Amino acid sequence: MKREYLHLGNLPVALVDLGSDIRYIHTDHLGTPRLVSDALKHPVWAWQGEPFGATQANEDPEDSGAAYTFNLRFPGQYFDKETGHHYNYFRDYDPAVGRYVQSDPIGLAGGD
């Protein structure tokens, strides 16, 4: 399935699945997606998330029997269902332990 994300600056605000209606992304103050709603304002996906992101997203918040998959997590992260990690381009974040599984590729020089 082809999916297009719409951003306002760095903030994801909507997405369109090919052949489907637009969905709206509701974020918290950090830009973390917490709710996705359809054009009729019905929630189709929700992620209450605790501080480290270990809670699972609710892919059917209205119990309609139609699960909706949305894989954006913390800003810049994409959820990998097979591993349970959040993909972050150069390294993966493990929400079960609240840490990255690889060291920062920029090393200790980051911030110099």
- pLDDT value, residue 96: 94
Q: How many CB atoms lie within 10 A of CB 5?
A: 11
User: Alpha helix (H) ranges present in 1-112?
Assistant: none
Q: Percent of the chain having pLDDT more than 70?
A: 97
pTM: 0.87
Q: What are phi and psi of 102, to 5 degrees?
A: -125, 160
Tokens of 111: 């911030």
pLDDT at 20: 82
Phi, psi of 27 (to 5 degrees): -110, 165
